[in-house]
Structure 1
Amino acid sequence: MPPPENSVARGARAEDIIHVLRDRVALLPGARDRDNRPIVFVPAKENSAQINPDHLRNLLLYLYEVTSDDVKENGFVFVIDMRKGTTWNVVKPVLKCLQEFFPGTVTAVLIIKPDNFWEKHKTSVSTGKYKFDIQMISIDNLTKYMDAGQIVREFGGSLFYDHEDWLDLRVDIEKLVWRSSEILRHFEKYSTLMSSSDIPVDVVKAEEAISKHQKLQSLIASLSVEGVEADVEQLKKRIFNECEYLPVSSNGSILHSTSNPDLSSIFPHLVQLTKTLARTRAEISCQWELKKQDLDQCYQMKLFEKDAESAYQWIRARCNQLSHSFTITGNSESDTDRLLTEHKDLTNGVDKYEISYNHVMDVGRRLHKLQLEQRNRLLKLTFNVHQKCNLFLKNYGNWIENVGVDPSLVMDKSHDELNAFLEEHDSFEQVFENVYSEAYADATQLSKMMKKIYGENVGSAQSYKQLLELIQRITHAKRNLHSIWKSRRESIHYRMSSAIFSSDMRSVIDWLEQHGEPFLRRKIAIGQDRVSATSLSVNHENFRNVAMNTYRNANQLFTMAAELKNAGEVNEEETTQALLELRRKIDSFRKKVDMRTNLLFIASNFFLHYDEIMAWYCKMDDRLASLSVVPESVEECERNKEKLQSENDGTLQAFARVIAEANQLHAALQQQRVVLNVDNSEAIRHVENLARNIENRQAAEKDRWSSQRIYLNAACKVAVFLRDCSEIRRQLMSWSEDLKGLKHSVSNKADVVMHYHRQNTESVRSV
């Protein structure tokens, strides 16, 4: 009884990498994208410390192991956050480990753009060398790839995820599985111990075997299956009731949460594990009871053998004594009296021992009766085996000539008729399986009984060899019958799959022609502003989700067609042409859907930037008033000139970008007109009017720039003039103070004073 197949049984344990898991290097919240692929989130790291490659490899291997098995084959999506200062040196080892060690298929890696320009540049340059698709996106565009309810909060979504709770659950689940596996190993050990024990050879050995067997019962009872069942129930409540009390977001709404599918997928395995434990314990208990009966019977037999041997020896001794002294009558009266007394004692002893003798005989008769009953059960079971095996082999001749439904008789039948034939075919299998199961079950029971009776010598018993031959005959016949039945069922199933394929092919094409294409031709508007464009984008996203189902149905049809062609159940040439036509329609439809997605994206950006640049122009209208005021300092004037030039350059760049977006939107609308053959002239005129408004405002603004530069140049000259006037006034005041001090100068210093006076005069004139 091996342990169950799960991540724990395969060796991966959370406790082995608990330190890495607690660091939140990668998160597996149970999220799925729109293609039902599991999502792994790698949060941003504010520090630039690199992760140990071995720890990272073990972490990714563990996350793969604990992901639900039913979605692993869909591939994995990794979302890596490079905000908050996360560097390329931190992300690079993650991508390298994904490429070299991750056992699953990585279908996409979405990197949230870093804040730093150089990190963004390094990342975009270095991501082209990996075998999986890597895209750099903004945090707002993450909802294009997955629903907001499947994105954890720190990545801008509404999925509630508590990493510590997840980690505690994983540890508890793995501890429970390991404990259950340990109980199963003990059960297997005890079962082997009971089945391999030797048959006691005497009473002492039988008593020792019974004592050991009683202790084994205590060991079996100490393995608490009820405790495991209670822990499984607790885990069930924790897994499925984790969203009963959810926190509230900052805007007052309840955060989105569902039970983690990767955690909830383990619950059926846990339930199956508890059932295995309960079933195994019941089998062990039954085995213990049967073994106890065998040991008790063996003890009774050995005790009987001992008592019978003792009785035999006692009777033999008395008989020998009687025979030896039978003719001795004594030589005198006293001697004869002594012999008579001894004979009376012997007679009394025989009478008393008769009770023990009768007890031994009763035990012998009872044991003999048990053997007779066992023999009776053996013969009855053997009779049932022969009867049921003969019934199966007798019917086999009729069954093999007409195995269920002949596929050649169900050609060109409808789906409902094929389904009825399939049910009839399955009912035939149920008939011969039931007869075989009854015969095989009785034969297996008889085999166990013979092994118990014959012991180690069962292989040499002729009756056991005959039983094995009979089992082989019915097993071979059943396999042959089932092989033909299975082959015919596959043929009928392929017939039905072919009918379903044709019906589904028509349904997909009808949806494309009657719903998908007309919807795209009706919904051609791009809105009048950003709000209406965003609303249209939301509606289109809902339509894309519906279209995804059609894509999936088409992919299933391609897979089904390959199986049908390999089975030879369809016309290969016609099917290939039909698939090519379907592929062409799907590709054309997908191209149109993507074209509208891109159109609405361009329109939303253009309307947003239109509002921004028009608001900027309004702000520029108020700039002239501030330019007419002359600043007090020349430095501030220079700063105003630099600011004016910078704002003008920025305005030119913004104008060029918005006009480019207008031209891009105009080209997309022209493409829409040609591809869908629709009249979208109103939307084109609206875009042209908006572009014309921008051009007119830009032309008017550009005309004012020369006068604004004149204002600033004049302001700079006035500021320089005011600065020079202030300097002249300061020097004149200083000269005046110097002249006042010269009034009392002596005559012998007049030449020196005159020299300094001339210098001051020249300085003032030079200003």
Structure 2
Amino acid sequence: MVEMRDGCPKAEDILHVLRDRVALLPGTRDRSGRAVIIFPARENTTPINPDYTRNILIYLHAVTADDYKDRGFTIIIDMRKGTTWNNVKPILKSIQEHFPAEVHAVLIIKPDKFWEKHKTSVSSGKYKFDIQMISVEGLTRYVDSSQLTRDLGGSLFYDHDEWLETRMELERLIWQTIDVMHNFESFREEMKNGEMPIDVATAERATAAHVVLKKKILGAPIERIQHDVERVQQRISGSNDGDDNYNPSNVQVTTNPDLAAALPHLASLVNSLRTSKDEIFVQWEARRQKLDHCYQLKLFEQDADKMFDWIRSHYALSTQRLLEIGDSEQSTSMLLTEHLDFITAANVGFFHTNFNFLNTIDNTEVNVSHVTTVAKRLREIGNYGKVQIENVAMHLDEEWRRFKQINEQRSRLLDLALSFHRKSHIYLSNTPSWLHSITMDNGRRMSQYSGDELEAAIAEHERFGEMFLQTYAEAIGDGRSLTQILKTLAGDAVGQNNAYKHVVDLIQQITRAHKELHSQWQAKKLRLHSRLALIAFETDTHRVLQWLEEHGDAYLNKNTAIGECDVQQMSVVVEELRRRIEAFSARVEARRDLLNKSVLFHTHYSEIMEWYGRMEVKSSQYDFVSTNVQEGERRKEEWMIESDATAQAYATTMGEGNQLIRALEQQAKMMNIDNCDTVAVIERLISDIEQRHAKLADRWPHQRRSLQLGVKFAAFIKDCKQIIQQLKNWREDMVALVKSNNFAERAEHILPYQDDNTTQVKNAVTGVKNNAAELLQIFITDFWKYDFNKFYSKALRDNESTLVNAEGILATDVIITSLQQLTDCQREVMQVAQETHHRIEQCMQFNRARAMAAVAIQKMQYEETKLLHMNTIPTSLEEALAAQAAHKQFQHSVESISRTTSAFLNKTDQLISNGGVDVHSVDDLNEEVLNRWRRLVGVTEERNKLIKAGVVCYKTLHQGVSFFVLLHIMKFL
């Protein structure tokens, strides 16, 4: 069999047959316009190999102009020069069985021998085409002489060697063009299916390979092919322009229509080649841009990874030495200097773990800013990995903030430790001298002080006490702050930290020293004040004794008589004195009660005004919302308690004020005095309380609303975080599920759960979005429309609440950000869910296709077994015809399997085109079914050939017997 390429035979594969001039296609057309194939006369009587005849017939049909193929062919067989019937019979058989087009007539030029003429005329009736025995002169009835070659008595010039060379050159150009187009197609597939690089090195290699691919595209020999096409065109048309002269004869050459018919096709191939080159250049440029974006992305990721590594290593170094604060002022000062050098170096270069400079490079913060700037530029130019770039940039910025934050913490810690060590050193080092200065004065010297000197000593002692108390307070305050920070940073392991233990020891030393120093200072203070009090007592006693001596004794000595009195008059005087005393006592009691009420009212007035002041200061806290639900509930409960206590205190104080006013009015009536000014003062104080309370009460609805919103806000944030985490967990579960080994087998079982999970996720996210919309409607006063995907912040901030979180970010912005994060996470997860659902459906379809394949294979096996039972050799024409009829019935059954197989193949082609399935598995399944189908078709065809051969054999046997009987009769006649 002739070798075929892309369904077309090649001249070079049957070159020996063509050179042997077995059959010719000189471009002849009969009078009806049909193409003519000529089998020239051969002096060699050896029969031609049937394969050669079949191959050359197929080839000549293929190279005939397409416009003439449908018209049919006329074939001329020249039996002169000794060509026998044995040479012609294989040709006719090949035409009968293998020629792919209609044969209108076979014109056999009469042989020279009579017996050959007779055999030809006798055997010609069994072919499906018309066979005419004619002479050379009779050819002109069918073919014009101008279309016949010279050896057939015509005038058509035909050089077979020239035709063969031209045909070889033409095919070479066609196949060369097709090869280039195949190369272009492979380049296109290579660019289409090429995987994206995974790092900078592979990106550089991919870019270099892409540049090499461009050179290959540019190296396509299109211009040379075009030049060769023009040269072949001149050669076929018979033009002698140029240096090449293919026609050695001076005879006018007629253009071969079959050769000329290939020229438009060749020109079309060249044009297609140019178009393909332009298209592939467009694809190459698109791929180049994508590779360039990928290279920039990987370079960005590489720089970011280097920054991550540097930041993390130095962050770990900072974390490792975070709690190293030294055990003295000198060591702490050294650590602080090293740390400041480290921070400076972090902004100008990299460090080794011992903080020695290795080399100075670009500013690290500038490098971070540069990476961030590059990320922004890549997003602006539309890099396909802009989401990944944005995430990396945000992560890098976060890591850098963490690094700066821990260094700032260490700076504050070392500053505080240095201050504590300095102040503790001052206090402990001065404690002995302070103790000495306190205890150096003895009682004898103190008794010699005058009152003025003691007052000066007391003042000096007080100043000294304030001095060392201030020093103690500063040292202890720094120490306690330092221990609190160490507890916060070290956590539960703070007890194992040597720095913390040393600070605690220093605090205990300072406390012990301060107790002793303060007790000594207090004792000296007591002595000084006791001595001053003794001097004052002695002075007062001296003055009393002096008054008694000067006035008391003289008065007693002067008044010694006892006098006389009237008892009745004395009783009246005594009664009047008693009444006056009782009235005075009543006024004193009323005065005492009034003063008590005044003291109580003024005390509560001061307390409630102070309380109102604290509430006003605290009112600003209600503009902050927490993301913790428990904290929000606690703040709400605390506010309720405070508001109830405020209302109760207000009622009590107002009652006390009113009682005080009534008592003042009673006093005015009792004593006949004017208390209007005092009452006005009390009323003004009551008015102050009412105003402050009204102002505070006006804030209560806002505060209550803020606290309620805070609880709802915290619950929303909690729900968002929980759903986002659940979405992430579900995404990980889906990825693991798809990668599992038994995913395909469990697909049909998994699908309901997958759909149920998808519905639950959608419902949960929709519920959170509805809660967010309701919450935003409460936050934003005049809000009338909200779109989850398009949110215009400026328009909202004109109407929104001023509630912020602990970081000072508006609560509405936090809600929008959380909602956007939830929406982005939902979009990503739902995309994974959609892909998983698609994969599940693909697996289910693959399982169905596998079931269809099993059914088809089972049917094929059944039919093949059935065919084996029918596989008998007929022994007569009747048996052969019966077997032929049974085989036709069997072929109808095979055709039904063909439809099943076609449906299966269409199903698998659809699976492959939709994607998401293992192409190799589908191909293996296809191959298994096709192998079975080919086997069944093969054995069916073999059986068909056998039956046909049997029928032909028995028919020929019957005809041969009749023919030999006829010959036998003719012999006797």
Q: Output the TM-score relative to the length of structure 2.
A: 0.35
Larger of the two Rg values belongs to structure: 2
RCO (CA 8 Å, sep 6+): is it higher in 1 or 2?
Answer: 1
For normalisation by structure 1, the TM-score amounts to 0.44
